[in-house]
Amino acid sequence: MLDGKRILLVIGGGIAAYKTLDLIRRLRERGASVRALMTSAAQEFITPLSVGALTADRVFTDLFDREDEHDVGHIRLSREADLIVVAPATADLLAKMAHGLANDLASTALMATDKPVLVAPAMNPAMWSHPATSRNVAQLKADGTSFIGPNSGEMAESGEAGVGRMAEPLEIVAAIEAHFAAQSGPLSGRSIVITSGPTHEPIDPVRYIANRSSGKQGHAIAEAAARAGADVTLVSGPVTIPDPKDVKVVRVETAREMLEAVNAALPADVAIMAAAVADWRAEGASGQKIKKDGSGKPPALKLTENPDILATIGNGASGRPRLVIGFAAETGNLIENARAKLERKGADMIVANDVSPETGVMGGDANTVRLVTKDGVEEWPTLSKREVAERLVTLIADCLKEA
């Protein structure tokens, strides 16, 4: 799996550094070559001698080492790799990376690289949950850095429990393998924008119009597309499920914000509109909480139509994605309604599903869908939402190949 892959391992200064010795062995067992770069703090925990014995290569430690600079140089070092893995990624290293500081060999190499970076954070739980670390992690994710862990459990040095333990070597290996699998995946090099979840349309500052969408199907598609190597932007309404892995998530509340975020994510090869967008919003939502006026009569709620995101994208003349896919959640006349939506919204395909209360689809884990295109209808058996996502991703990859 990792045959011939070149990994630059940046070892940070944390007690979890000892696990990187095993990580090097596991990577080399699988055919990867590992070159190690250690921060000075890392050398307080493990020695370059043991790291070098395991990598069977020179270990790089000093930005100002004339010999190293002459032979390799920090710029080349950071580019002569297929992937850079930072383990353990300390709070300090994450902060430097997020802010673009470059004052030692590790941070300079990380700034100079044009290669993907995977980090395995390890730190005390209080440091991990500190708002500064959360900000740095969010920034790094937005910049395209991938994360593995940290896990929850007991800390090696203090015995304290919480989230902050570095992922185990085999988990890091699995993340590295997944990274390379995605690179050669059927959607590698493709960009996809996906909407998911409901929208919330304010009536006043405390009340809103919403629907029962859980976001499970849209999120599952985003995760499956990322696994297949796509560059995925997920525009999500308010949901309670976790973010899918390796996906850029843009959080929105209203239909209008969702449309804006989708437009910002274009151009893309594919658009999949799986969100249950509220068709209407309250006209002139009140800036103040609406109070009972004592008359016993409820206030009139005047609704106005929201923009149709799918129709805007599907019927868009310039910059239309090659493939535009919509969903149709129906409680009757499934195919007929889906066909009408296909036509009206300029979509290439509508994934139609029956959401009558007895199907349990809304919020459930299974889905029975039919794919409606201008060429006909394909029926899929009842599948988990994850399986629907995987099949859809395969189908999309085939369509893009043909196009």
Active site residues: 211
Number of residues that bind ligand CTP (CB under 6 A): 16
Nearer to ligand CTP, 261 or 310 (CB): 310
Nearer to ligand CTP, 24 or 328 (CB): 328
Backbone region of residue 182 per phi and psi (left: phi > 0; alpha: psi in -120 to 50; beta: other values): alpha
Instruction: Fill in the per-residue mask, 12 to 51: x = in contact with ligand CTP (CB under 6 A), - = not in contact.
Output: ----------------------------------------
Told to check if 80 binds ligand CTP by CB under 6 A, we report: no
Among 57, 257, 279, 387, binds ligand CTP (CB under 6 A): 279
Q: How far is the CB of 353 from ligand CTP (least distance, A)?
A: 9
Among 97, 220, 235, 328, binds ligand CTP (CB under 6 A): 328
How far is it between the farthest Cα atoms of the chain? 86
Instruction: Specify the DSSP class assigned to residue 172.
Output: H
Told to check if 128 binds ligand CTP by CB under 6 A, we report: no
* Nearest residue to 282 via CA among 211, 214, 213, 207: 207
Among 214, 252, 326, 367, binds ligand CTP (CB under 6 A): 326
The encoded tokens of residue 48 equal 């370059």
Q: How far is the CB of 80 from ligand CTP (least distance, A)?
A: 45
Report the first-to-last Cα separation within the chain, whole angstroms. 30
Among 94, 220, 275, 392, binds ligand CTP (CB under 6 A): 275
**CB-CB contact of 107 with 74 (8 Å):** no
Instruction: Fill in the per-residue mask, 170 to 209: x = in contact with ligand CTP (CB under 6 A), - = not in contact.
Output: -------------------------x--------------
Nearer to ligand CTP, 124 or 337 (CB): 337
Q: How far is the CB of 286 from ligand CTP (least distance, A)?
A: 22
Residue 121 three-state SS: strand
**CB-CB contact of 86 with 120 (8 Å):** yes
User: Which listed range, 95-103, 106-114, 115-123, 325-333, lies at the site for ligand CTP (CB under 6 A)?
Assistant: 325-333
Told to check if 147 binds ligand CTP by CB under 6 A, we report: no
Residues comprising the chain, all counted: 403
CB atoms within 10 A of CB 227: 21
Told to check if 253 binds ligand CTP by CB under 6 A, we report: no
Q: How far is CA 106 from CA 85, 92, 255, in A?
A: 11, 12, 43
Told to check if 273 binds ligand CTP by CB under 6 A, we report: yes
Q: How far is CA 70 from CA 40, 73, 75, 77, in A?
A: 20, 6, 11, 11
Nearer to ligand CTP, 39 or 306 (CB): 306
Told to check if 255 binds ligand CTP by CB under 6 A, we report: yes
Among 109, 329, 334, 392, binds ligand CTP (CB under 6 A): 329
Told to check if 277 binds ligand CTP by CB under 6 A, we report: yes
Rounded distance, CA 314 to CA 326, Å? 9
Rounded distance, CA 127 to CA 222, Å? 30
Residues 6+ apart with CB under 8 A from 330: 337, 338, 352, 353, 354, 355
User: Which listed range, 5-13, 73-81, 154-162, 273-281, lies at the site for ligand CTP (CB under 6 A)?
Assistant: 273-281
Among 94, 119, 123, 310, binds ligand CTP (CB under 6 A): 310
> What would the DSSP string read from start to end of 360-390?
--TTSSEE-EEEEETTEEEE---EEHHHHHH
Residue at 308: amino acid letter: D
**CB-CB contact of 279 with 329 (8 Å):** no
Rounded distance, CA 7 to CA 3, Å? 11
User: Which listed range, 77-85, 147-155, 320-328, 360-368, lies at the site for ligand CTP (CB under 6 A)?
Assistant: 320-328
Q: Which residues are at the interface with ligand CTP (CB under 6 A)?
A: 195, 255, 273, 275, 277, 279, 306, 308-310, 326-329, 341, 345
